[in-house]
Structure 1
Amino acid sequence: MLSHQAGRLLGQLIAEGVSPWLAVEDGEALADAVRRRLLGDAFQAAVVPPGTPVPQVRLACDALLPLFTAGGGRGQVSVPVDPRLADRAGALLAGARALHAAVRRPNVLVRLPMTAAGRAVMTELLADGIGVHASLVLSEERCADVLDAYVEGMERALAAGVRLGDVLVAVACPVGLLDAEADARLARSGAAPEALPDGTAGRALARLLFRLREQRLAGDWWRVLRADGALPPRLLWTGGRAEDAAGLVGSNTALALSPQELERAARLGPLRGDTLLGKHLAAREAFTVLERLGVDLSEAAAVAEHRELERLRHGWELRTAVSS
């Protein structure tokens, strides 16, 4: 069971509009979370690792199905498509549809890296009524493209008679990846620690993405989709640190944590309320300071994305070799 402190932190996150998502490293940890009833009772969704057997994915989906059925954009299980297909739209779409058909659960989210091919496939899947976890969103420009793909896909789903409230979307920003790349560049530049801006690169990006989504939700397109039952895309922060539980708090967001990271976050003390809304100017200043210190954030984001995709592809190759 989780500690009393961890349970209290979960309650605070949920009260602030932050959905706690379970992030685990392997299928054994996922099975343990199902046995301990952490899914549903504590965590409201799950990000499962590559290579998780389909039966384990189904068990996780079944554990979270009551939350999904109750509505509110909860109860999803995110499962990755083969990252080796990330730049081949046709193969990626076929793989995503096959994965969705294999799991056979309404609350499964197909996880796609947001390459150009991934964004095109996202639109097709949403038009089919299949939920998507849009991963590796590391810039405002990429997030804007993803939100455009979301609108196009949901408009097509509406025209096809799909029940929009069942088509859920998470837009995931791996704040930890950007932090690591920015920190490495700062170290190479020799910038003094006192010159660092208040907050990290990842946290500043989160605040800018939150602002971007809020601006898009004020548009005419969203009013049409909402009137037909669509839920807004949820921003999901991944790969962060325990400190991010307090630093990335905003309505209709999600934070992916392992049980161990959650316990560490709980020991840091209570939340300080919303830390994203209205913080975009401070975030922009943080980006300006980082650029002044020699950190090219566009380049850092591109490098972080490329390295993560290569890591995912290599890991998939290794698992495929072992299983064969």
Structure 2
Amino acid sequence: MLSQPAAQLLEQLAAEGVSPWLLATGAREILPASPSCRAAALLRGAVAPAADPAAVRRACDALRGAFAASGGLQGRVSVPVDPRSAHDASALVAGARTASGEVGRPNLLIRVPATTAGLSAMADCLAMSISVDADLVFSTERYEEFLDAYLTGMERALAAGRPLGRITAAASVPVGVLDAEVDRRLPESATPAGPAAGLRGTAAVALARQLHRLREQRLSGDWWRVLRAAGAEPPLLVWTGVGPWHVGELVGWNTAQAASLEVLEAAGARGGLRGDTLLNAHGEARRAWEALEGLGIRMRDVARDLEAAELSRLRQAWPFTS
């Protein structure tokens, strides 16, 4: 059961335009199965591991009410394709088509790595009305490429006469592993008065604020206005692997936070939210980014290394054989 403070936190997040998602670990049951579980009623999405299509269908069906009530903006379930194909666009598209056909639910999100091949596959999938969650976005440069792929795919879908309102695109940012890696690279001799003081745990929030700003800028362009008039919805930003301290710091419109129930409980115990923390905060984010760079933390190197490490981890954990 979800405690009262945690339940109130989920309600506050929703009021701020943040969809609370479950970071699921179980492949047999992705969402809490009990109809009396309050979490099941308050959650608005899930990031799931590789799972049997039947389990994915059950999760999609559990969120179908949220999906319908929001006009398709919420109630999504993100499941991965084979990460061993991370650099093979055609294999990723084939995997996405297979998974979409096997699950057969409109609120399914196919999760692909945001590699160059993955973003190419994403554009192809969107053009075919397959909704996509591009994972492992660790830099502003990669997010720019995501937005390019999003616009390309949606333009192709529009040209093909497909209903754009039925297509969702999300970019997932693993904030927990990003903060952990940057903090690991900070000088170990840091003291409260040293150069790294106050910088631990700041990388993910700084990146999130910059990505939020980039999305605002790109959605002010002419092509976006054409797509919006045709029914397209803005791409979603999903913060994954959040810790309790991230929850109140990553609050912004049209975003989602994917966390475990344990993290949500811990975040609820920390107290309420303090409003939107992403809007118009890009200047502060840039200063934090520059401070990290000034200590020798090359954020492009961090992004490259984390992508490689996470892909290796996902490949090793993939439960299915060819």
Which residue in the other structure is 1:94 paired with? 94
In the TM superposition, residue 27 of structure 1 has moved relative to its aligned partner by 2.1
Partners of 2:309 and 2:103 in 1: CA distance: 29
- The yes-or-no answer on 1:156 pairing with 2:150 is no
Partners of 2:286 and 2:232 in 1: CA distance: 30
**Where in structure 2 are the equivalents of 1:216-255 lying within 5 Å?**
216-255=218-257
- 303-312 or 37-46: bigger deviation: 37-46
Letter in 2 for 1:196: A
In the TM superposition, residue 201 of structure 1 has moved relative to its aligned partner by 0.5
Partners of 1:137 and 1:218 in 2: CA distance: 22
Which residue in the other structure is 1:67 paired with? 66
- The yes-or-no answer on 1:110 pairing with 2:120 is no
**Where in structure 2 are the equivalents of 1:52-63 lying within 5 Å?**
52-63=51-62
Partners of 1:296 and 1:191 in 2: CA distance: 18
Which residue in the other structure is 2:292 paired with? 290
CA contact (8 A) 2:29 2:55 kept: no
Partners of 2:192 and 2:137 in 1: CA distance: 27
Partners of 2:232 and 2:295 in 1: CA distance: 42
In the TM superposition, residue 245 of structure 1 has moved relative to its aligned partner by 0.9
Please report the TM-score for the alignment, with normalisation by the length of structure 1.
Answer: 0.94
In the TM superposition, residue 172 of structure 1 has moved relative to its aligned partner by 0.8
CA contact (8 A) 1:19 1:254 kept: yes
CA-to-aligned-CA distance 1:37-96 (integer Å, 9 cap, x gap): 55761110111112x111010001111112222315101110100000001111111111
CA-to-aligned-CA distance 1:99-151 (integer Å, 9 cap, x gap): 11111111100000001110000000000001000110110000000001000
Which residue in the other structure is 2:123 paired with? 123
The aligned length equals 318
Letter in 2 for 1:65: R
Letter in 2 for 1:310: S
CA-to-aligned-CA distance 1:264-305 (integer Å, 9 cap, x gap): 100001101111111111111101111111211110111111
Partners of 1:112 and 1:208 in 2: CA distance: 22
CA contact (8 A) 1:131 1:168 kept: yes
- The yes-or-no answer on 1:134 pairing with 2:134 is yes
**Where in structure 2 are the equivalents of 1:263-278 lying within 5 Å?**
263-278=265-280
Letter in 2 for 1:241: G
Cα pair distance change 1:120/1:38, threshold 3 Å = farther
When you count helix as a share of all residues, which structure comes out higher? 1
Letter in 2 for 1:282: E
Which residue in the other structure is 2:205 paired with? 203
Please report the TM-score for the alignment, with normalisation by the length of structure 2.
Answer: 0.94
Partners of 1:151 and 1:175 in 2: CA distance: 25
Partners of 1:278 and 1:82 in 2: CA distance: 37
CA contact (8 A) 1:196 1:289 kept: no
Which residue in the other structure is 1:7 paired with? 7
Which residue in the other structure is 1:17 paired with? 17
Q: What is the RMSD of the two structures over their aligned residues, measured on CA atoms?
A: 1.7
Cα pair distance change 1:304/1:158, threshold 3 Å = same
- Listed as ranges, the gaps of 5+ residues in structure 2 are none
CA contact (8 A) 2:158 2:164 kept: yes
SS state of the match for residue 63, structure 2? helix
CA contact (8 A) 2:2 2:39 kept: no
In the TM superposition, residue 36 of structure 1 has moved relative to its aligned partner by 4.9
Which residue in the other structure is 2:313 paired with? 311
1:212 alignment partner, one of 205, 211, 214: 214
CA contact (8 A) 1:136 1:305 kept: yes
Letter in 2 for 1:270: G
In the TM superposition, residue 169 of structure 1 has moved relative to its aligned partner by 1.2
